[in-house]
Amino acid sequence: MTSPDLDRATLRQLVLDTVLAPDFRRATFAGVPRGPGPCRWVRVAVRPVALRGERHLQISYFDAKKDVTKNVPVAEAAESLDEVLAAGFSRVHLSTAAEEIDAQLTKKGKILLGRRKSAAPVPEPSLAHDHVKNVPLPEGRADRLLEVMGVLTREGRVRPTMRAKYTQINEFLTHLAHSLDAAGLRGLDRPVEIVDCGCGSSYLTLAAHHYLNTVLGIPARITGVDVNEEVIRKSADRAAHLGADRPAFACGRIGAAGTPPPDIVLALHACDTASDDALAHAVAANARLILCVPCCHHALNDALRADGPARVLRPLLRHGILHQRTADLATDAFRALALRVVGYKTDVIEFVSPEHTARNLMIRAVRGAPVGEWSFVREYQEMRRFWGVTPYIEAALGESFRQLTADEAVETELPTVEALSE
């Protein structure tokens, strides 16, 4: 229902009475500011929070580029609310447990008020100062896996020195979960077979096994492979503490460790050309999904020169750090493009924020694109000619790939995926 017009003093009292009441839920001040002076905010939001057991108001000020948040004790909030009201926002929305209130300030200075009962009682809001992020393995909950790995305490708290690793694990699991549907891996009538190439300390190997089998209920068998006998032994010991149903580990080179044909190939921080070997192993096995986070790009770094067409980049390549980063990006671009050529829908995404790891790009590839699509073959040829290099991914993928991308190759009938694995 609509109430009679209000004056500003009455609106102020309505806002104070509503926001400071125990059943207050949320307030939003937005629209055109009609105050006496300029306003630097485009919107202000207010919600109740609890700090050290005391009720506060969290006031968030939004401008065109950022937001600033401050927490004010309820007993001291009137001054801050007066400051917001002085901006004269043309729309004010107040929400309580039982009622929704809208106030509109017209160009002529009138204040129109509308009030309606909530369709259903508004639940008590969370008074947590920070919203808990929805992650695969949330903080604050006991988790045997993360405890065994030393990431969480027995009470479910993240150890300060393991915060970056905890974030990395959850970001990886989020990408894995989002990719399962695209790869058609949620409805198999058998366990999903996964190989983690260059598994190292196996934090992500163990996390993937735990998340798929225990949290999502998707049967999965995971094998971690690494050439380092010591890390394989430690990984196996750590897995043994998790019970009988655990990942397997094998010591050996990628593709030669006798693992089952994989549906998913992981290569998370496999050093230098080991990432290429992992990609080639996935292609040869017709893996449906590849998640690769490359590390330590050395091979192409030594080969890039400011010669031929690339001489225009001499100002870029003369500086060591810029040369290195250019080589990193060129290496991953060659890898992503090669996967497109051999029949994978491929993108390169940010795996995790750079504050947690400098090696934060992920190559994500799902099988199902045409093999040898001419536009991608041509792009690969042109990129190879521009840099005057033969990237290691070409040798890793073998003769079938070299035939697809040879300079004399012409547009022709596309081969099948199976032909590349022979």
Give the model confidence (pLDDT) of 177-195 as tens digits: 999 989 999 888 899 999 9
Cα 417 vs. chain centroid, distance in angstroms?
Answer: 30
**Tell me: the pLDDT tens digits for 345-382?**
999 998 776 554 556 799 999 999 999 999 999 999 99
pLDDT per residue as tens digits for the range 323-337: 999 999 999 999 999
Into which CATH architecture does domain 144-421 fall? 3-Layer(aba) Sandwich (3.40)
Q: Which residues contact 125 (CB under 8 A, 6 or more apart)?
A: 25, 26, 47, 48
Choice between 257 and 414, residue whose per-residue pLDDT is larger: 257
d(CA 333, CA 229): 32
Relative orientation angle of helices 320-341 and 274-284, to the nearest 10 degrees: 10
Sorted by where each begins, the domain ranges of the chain are 2-117, 144-421
Structure token pair of residue 304 = 């890039």
Per residue in 229-254, pLDDT (tens digit) is 999 999 888 888 776 567 899 998 88
pLDDT of 336 reads 97
> Which residues, including other chains, have CB under 8 Å from residue 209's CB and lie 6 or more apart?
194, 220, 222, 246, 247
Instruction: Say if pTM beats, i.e. exceeds, 0.85.
Output: no
- 1 pLDDT above the threshold of 50: no
Q: How do residues 50-106 score in pLDDT, each as one tens digit?
A: 877 788 898 988 876 666 888 889 888 899 999 999 888 888 999 898 888 988 888
